[in-house]
Amino acid sequence: MLKKYMAINRSAILMACLLSSAALFAQNPTATGTINATLINKNGIALVFVTDPAGVSLGASGTSAASLNFGTISAFGPLAGGVTRPSVSAASYTVRTIFDVFVITDGGNTTNYNLLVSLAAAAATGLSYKVDAVTLTTTGQTVQTNAAYNTAVPHNLDLIVSTAAPGAGGPAVGTPITTTINFTATAN
């Protein structure tokens, strides 16, 4: 009788092994591993343009490639919201808006930055541009020194328009005028 029980136990154990091994093979196999990664964190800064509450709403505000639209301008008459006309003379008039520059640092060894501004190409006939009190050219010019990081710093953009007739030194009338202004923040 003992032999019969041992045979039954062997059969039961063999059946359990076969059934459990089938269940094990039915599961998805897994494997694990690791990667040792190395990185070098370098200091850096980023410059973004932000709409100032008193100025024109910037297109793509909060990015480093914003756009600004003065709308239709003239020496007299209404201007778009956020645009002012600080001066009008017989020779020219100026329209202005305010925008903010926000330079972000990653906490490197620099405490402030200098801001340089330039035109990407020469201004169209009869037009000139200023950021704050600096008349812009195609050469980078310092607009601000020792500016604080992580702060929205307001700047004025002036467009000075000659009142001379087109062909006599004045700009084209009724034609959209565009320009690109480059800003460079350099860590001190």
The pLDDT value recorded for residue 2 is 45
The pLDDT value recorded for residue 175 is 85
The tens digit of pLDDT for each residue in 41-99 reads 567 889 999 999 999 999 999 999 999 999 999 999 999 999 999 999 999 999 999 99
Beta bridge partners of 130: 135, 158
The tens digit of pLDDT for each residue in 124-164 reads 999 999 999 999 999 999 999 999 999 999 999 999 999 99
Q: Residue 36: is its pLDDT beyond 90? A: no
DSSP string of 131-184?
ETTEEP-SS-EEEEEEEETTSEEEEEEEEEEE-SPBTTTBPPSSS-----EEEE
The pLDDT value recorded for residue 41 is 58
CA dist., res. 28 & res. 39, Å (int): 34
Could you tell me the residue ranges of all domains in the chain?
45-187
With cut-offs at 50, 70 and 90, classify the pLDDT of residue 39. low
Mean pLDDT of the chain: 86
Among 1.20.120, 2.60.40, 3.30.450, 3.30.70, name the CATH number for the domain at 45-187. Answer: 2.60.40
Q: Kindly state the tokens that stand for 12.
A: 């039961």
